[in-house]
Amino acid sequence: MFSYVTLEQRVPSDHPVRAMRAMVDRALGRLDNDLSKLYSSTGRRSIAPERLLRAQLLMVLYSIRSERQLMEQLNYNLLFRWFVGLEMDDPVWDVTVFTKNRERLIAGAVSQQLLLAVVEEAREQQLLSEEHFTVDGTLIQAWAAARSFKEKKEPPEPGSGTGDGGRVLLRDKVESTTDPDARLYRKAAADRSLPSYLGHALMENRNGLVIAAEASLAATDAERASALRMLDGTRRPGARRTLGADTQYQAAEFIQALRERAVAPHVSEYVHGNLGKNHLTVAEREDPCRPISQRKRKLIERVFGWSKLNRPLRQVKLRGIKRVDWFYRLTIAAYNLVRMRRLLPIEALAA
């Protein structure tokens, strides 16, 4: 009938989630004013945004496929209850109510604020490089079938397509009836086109932490445009910055944009028959830091591999670019938490 062991005592002191919860607590403390604005002043009592966000993080960390399965786990999993902030006797939310309340987090761009708060935590612990970065993108399979694509009623005008130079491609002529924002896209010529979005990440090179992330509509130049937007948010006065990237970013306009921002373009170059596509100068090519950036840039593949391996980002179940972007940033924030747990000493995690 009674138990003298509290929920706090049931979670081992060395459990990895305990360290991550301490970091989440500090991050949510930074967002306290923003989260308080998400509470409704009328109607019945709703789910606290902090608990909603913790529950969403559990879905990413433990590869939970759906909100219904999450509610089932919260009903009997004491570790999940402790992480979210529910006591053992607290009732679990209805799955429909949980899904509707999640829209408040999406509308408030909470995942972006959480990512920034986690990055600020890493900066305070001196884990970040403020000078050397890597950028890359990955394909996110949309929650739509290829057969759902039909021809658009109003075809795009010449020069307004998503291909290089505004070329009109197949993905510009068709539209999905289930997710209009998804586009047929492929990263490599040998791949087949899938209903997709693109996820972009800007990683610092010291410890492989992502300092900026965003999702976009699938387009040939989307990776380069997103890279510049994310890079603009990392400006530090007087700092010499470098950016490592693969050959997808080897474009004259992009290289010139980096020069204008005083960023050294450590971009991989084409070889053999594609030498004419390279745009680096001799000085940029012989930069002694460039080989280091090229070695470090491969670390960003760990981010995408972790995010997709048996996790909800492998095929995102949310529709629309706004929801996909929100969930992508949440996943990247979860990756940073996992990575920081390995980098920080126990004393810093518990502080």
Reported residue count of the chain is: 351
Answer yes or no: are the C-beta atoms of 266 and 236 closer than 8 Å: no
pLDDT value, residue 35: 77
Structure tokens at 205: 């090179």
Instruction: Give, in order, the Cα–Cα distances in Å from 242 to each of 85, 131, 265.
Output: 42, 6, 6
How many Å apart are CA 340 and CA 134, to the nearest integer? 18
Answer yes or no: are the C-beta atoms of 89 and 6 closer than 8 Å: no
Answer yes or no: are the C-beta atoms of 143 and 190 closer than 8 Å: no
pLDDT band at 8 (very low <50, low <70, confident <90, very high): confident
Helix (H, G, I), strand (E, B) or coil at 201: strand
pLDDT value, residue 39: 65
What is the average pLDDT across 260-284? 88
Check whether 26 has a pLDDT greater than 70.
yes
Residue 241 pairs in a beta bridge with 263
Check whether 37 has a pLDDT greater than 80.
no
What is the average pLDDT across 308-312? 82
pLDDT value, residue 228: 94
What is the average pLDDT across 323-330? 94
pLDDT value, residue 23: 92
Check whether 239 has a pLDDT greater than 90.
no
Q: Pick the residue with more confidence: 282 or 165?
A: 282
Check whether 332 has a pLDDT greater than 70.
yes
Q: What residue has token string 């509707």? A: 100
Q: What percent of the chain has pLDDT over 90?
A: 52
pLDDT value, residue 275: 75
Buried b (16+ CB within 10 A) or exposed e, 253-276: ebbebbeeeebbbbbbeeeeeeee
